[in-house]
Amino acid sequence: MRKLAGIIGCIFLIAYGCKKETTPASSTLYIDSQYHSFMFRENSYWVYKNASVNETDSLVLSHVESGFYWNPPPIHNTAGTRHEFYKMTIDSKSGNYQYIDVIDSYRVRRNPTTEWYICGRVIYSLYSQSNFEHLDSLSINGHIFYNVTKCKILANDYPEGCSNSGFILDTDLYIAPEYGVVRKVVHENQGDVTWDLIRWKIIK
């Protein structure tokens, strides 16, 4: 009888111990459907023109990656949260530079590092932010873009511990659903330089 009681006691302790180590269920944040209009596919391209000096800059979406990242991870007996992301690598064919745009749940960010939930510049969001201005429409070279968001980015205004995310000068980005950036205004020392979208091929 004592032997049987001992066995039952061991089973109880094992079961109790396993219960204590159970990690709470994780949650998942998916990309909001309103941001799907910015999920372009490889070989999409955009051509911009600086009319003041008659120069063009061609950008090509060279690589797409998608999946999930954790913030926070499920450690120390706490539930984690998985965030869906859509990562686009874009190369300049004339300016010899590259940048990365990442969409995750409710924003589009430029050049995030591995610390995705901290670094990178928010360049588009449907939610109110102090550096965003929403325009009903914007006409560029006879083409009208609707529901445009103007994002003002200050070169020195970025999270502590992060790089400046590729913005050396103060810049205004005008971003439209289904097209991406349609105008870029760079505030250089000698004056503003404007790049307007003149040709594009969007692959969805």
List the structure tokens of 115: 């610390």
105, 32 in Cβ contact below 8 A? yes
Task: Answer whether residue 18 shows pLDDT above 60.
Answer: no
Q: 72-110 burial, b if ≥16 CB within 10 A, otherwise e?
A: eebeeeeebbbbbbbbbebbeeeeeeeebbbbbeebbbb
Dist CA 146 CA 57 (whole Å): 23
Length of the chain: 204
**Structural domain spans, the chain:** 24-201
pLDDT tens for residues 39-96? 999 999 999 999 889 999 999 999 999 999 888 888 888 889 999 999 999 999 887 8
Task: Answer whether residue 178 shows pLDDT above 70.
Answer: yes
Other CB atoms within 10 Å distance of the CB of residue 191: 9
Task: Answer whether residue 115 shows pLDDT above 80.
Answer: no
| Average pLDDT rounded to a whole number, residues 28-37 | 96
Question: Helix or strand or coil: residue 8?
Answer: helix
Dist CA 85 CA 79 (whole Å): 19
pLDDT band, very low/low/confident/very high, at 150 (cuts 50, 70, 90): very high
Question: Helix or strand or coil: residue 140?
Answer: strand
Q: What is the pTM of this model?
A: 0.84
Q: Which residues pair with 48 in a beta bridge?
A: 57, 197
